[in-house]
Amino acid sequence: MNLFPPDTTNSGNPPARAKRPGKPQDTAEAPAPGVASVTQLIDKLSDYLTPAELKKVREAYRFSDEMHLGQVRKSGEPYISHPIAVAEICAEWKLDAQAIMAALLHDVIEDQDVKKEELIERFGAPVANLVDGLSKLEKIEFQSLVEAQAENFRKMLLAMASDVRVILIKLADRLHNMRTLGVMVPAKKRRIAGETMEVYVPIAHRLGLNNIYRELQDLAFSHLYPLRYRTLTKAVKSARGNRREVVKKILESVKQTLAMAGIQAEVYGREKTLFGIYKKMRNKHLSFSQVLDVYGFRVVVDNIPNCYVALGTLHGLYKPMPGKFKDYIAIRKINGYQSLHTTLIGPYGTPVEFQIRTQDMHRTAESGVAAHWLYKTGDQNMSDLQQRTHAWLQSLLDIQQQTGDSAEFLEHVKVDLFPDSVYVFTPKSKIIALPRGATALDFAYSIHTGIGDHCVAVKINNETQPLRTELHNGDIVEIVTDPDSRPSPTWLSYVRTGKARSAIRHHLRTVNVNESVELGQDLLAQALAARGIPAELPASTIERVLAESSAKSMDELYADIGIGKRMPALVARHIFGLMEGADDALPSSSQPLSGDIDPVTIYGSEGVSVQLAPCCLPIPGDGIVGQLRRDQGLVVHTADCLPAKRLRAKEPDRWIAVQWGEELNRRFDCRIRLLINNEKGILARVAAEIGESDGNITYVGMDEDDENMMTQLRFTIQVKDRVHLAHLIRNLRRVAGVNRVERERA
């Protein structure tokens, strides 16, 4: 689906920048019914802007009116009605004069070819920067439409990272376009509605703009599935009359009960959106009547203590449903939302959902960051919502610095726009919100990129766990770092957040280039030797290889092979084809060889371009094979590893011969399993014996076997080689209380 189709509200080519005789006046033309007018806009702005600011807004309007003179929308209205409508939506949020001016001018760069320098001269740099952030990059030629759309989205988000008003104006622009989408042909309606649902709805939700979020959802739904929308609309209107008596009875009971408890509260029914009903029916396979059988109410009180008093009062009125209470006041949602949620069994046995909140919480729930100005950075008492939003916007800048292209940037950011979150704690009780499914490694990168890069272990609820462990609500997470640790390509397989993924890829691309080049050179030399071709290729062949592979240099080609992006056997086959019959005739010994090809030598100190497979943890002395994995380089398995055998049967071309080097100056991880008597002091004796045998323990796990009154110990230890491991296992078998010792395999 296209992310940024052409602007559909503009009819035809923009006119030349003709000037209207005389000055355009605020009330020069009477607006058509339902069309926004500048008079209405000025009336709204007069409530909170100064006369000097209103004067600047009028100047921006006159300039925009002049630039859009003669231009009309598909509906036939003067085009200027659209910028005025966008400015009116912004005025409802009480945005400042600069934002209102930018809303009025938001299309003049894109549609009328007005230069940014001219806007700076007329209206100042802040307004010009806002308009520029809202303008698409249609003047730049991209390789594809998808790349252009991704670049537009990237530019908008980066402008938003420096000033959140950019996205607020953009959302107002999109909202008005969606409200007036009816005049478009069905194909364009679906395309724009799909883009709205995929991109703008999640952004509105992420920023806590719930009113905009809900309206955009319903508008997009109406154009994506018009028949379903009409059917649900008719059904809801019909059901509303039948529900009136129950709603009235619940309202009266709740108001009376809260008043008797001395709680001043506003209580009113909460309507489900049509898309919310449709989504619940589809995802939970419920009928329309089942979804509508749940009644929703909102209780707004004056302070936080009364939220909990009201909760207790309601629980006394109706019986609560077990497991249906959520406290979003103590642990707020990632977008700043706060409320108490509870579901009770109301009259006639119907479920009744209540949201209980304060006035401030209600304002934030409806308007999100629009209720608390993020760009007033001079205020030292920045709200928690502002800080959270500011941190997320700044993370966009971090991702941009680490990302190679716009499409990759878009991939990373869209991951973070999904609303489902888990909330975990640092050891100092700070709450960190992460996307659902995030791992301990995502947590490390959310704290700081440097912590993620040097992460070696994690404690979750005071227990050591693997970095790939998925986090759950309420977990207390502590990261252990080592300055010598570096990111591994395998991390990409289980991180969830865009920030973590982009940071790991950035490290693998930059820090390990030389390492990947060397490995790729060895792998290609081996593949060429298998076809009887010397590693030193003629200059003409190199030139043709680079031209046909789109690589800029042989080092880039080697690096791609080293990280698994290109298969050495396929590259060698291509080179063989180029050299057959060419001027650089193949040497007489160019027949494919079978058995006497030198394996790639593994020393164990290559870094992240070569990894020892975690499933079998090979050590020197084991027979080994190598697997080339995309974006992960060379993964070394033991020859008898069962997972490796299954993978080799599926992709035999990705496997190569490898061997251990002669001089290995490091230790290697290995897993062992012991069956021991469950008696006092046994763990201390085993650990002491491992130390005396020159082994180093990096992990200990324990499983009890109640039937046999025995305990199974699991250790990950570091040894020099297979001989060292055999010596250590013999010594452990002599420890009193140890019944069995064996090396653990996948």
For the residues of 128-181, what is the DSSP string, one character each?
HHHHHHHS--TTS--SSHHHHHHHHHHHHHHHHHH-THHHHHHHHHHHHHHHTG
| Distance, CA of 612 to CA of 718 (rounded, Å) | 13
Burial class (CB in 10 A: 0-12, 13-18, 19+), 482: exposed
Radius of gyration of the chain (CA): 33
| Residue closest to 663 by CA, chosen among 717, 623, 628, 620 | 620
Q: Tokens 């001079």, residue?
A: 378
Return the beta strands (E) in 235-318 as ranges.
Answer: 266-269, 295-301
Q: Which residues pair with 480 in a beta bridge?
A: 457
Tally of CB atoms within 10 A around 234: 10
Tokens of 313: 């009062």
d(CA 2, CA 199): 11
Pairing state between β 319-327 and 340-345: antiparallel
**CA 673, chain centre distance (Å):** 39
Beta bridge partners of 358: 301
Distance between CA atoms of residues 352 and 202, nearest Å: 27
H/E segment holding residue 356: strand 351-358
Q: How far is CA 380 from the centre of its chain?
A: 29
Catalytic residue among 65, 88, 107, 111: 111
Residue in 110, 453, 515, 622 annotated catalytic: 110
| Residue 257 C-alpha from the chain's centroid | 44
Angle of CA points 45, 31, 35, to nearest 5°:
70
**Residue 111 falls in the annotated catalytic set:** yes
Its sign, for the CA torsion 719, 721, 722, 727, is negative
| Residues 487, 491: Cα–Cα separation, whole Å | 7
DSSP 371: G
- Distance from C-alpha of 616 to C-alpha of 721, rounded to nearest angstrom: 14
Report yes or no: 490 and 614 within 8 Å, Cβ to Cβ: yes
> For the chain, give me the number of helices (H) and strands (E)?
29, 19
Taken as a whole, the chain contains a residue count of 746
Q: Name 464's bridge partners.
A: 459
φ/ψ of residue 58, rounded to 5: -60, -40
Residue 98: is it exposed, middle or buried by C-beta count within 10 angstroms (0-12/13-18/19+)? buried
Terminal-residue alpha carbon distance, the chain: 42
- Per the CB < 8 A criterion, the answer to whether 531 and 572 are in contact is yes
Tokens 């909202």 label which residue?
175
Q: Look up residue 373 and give its amino acid.
A: W
Catalytic (active-site) positions: 110-111
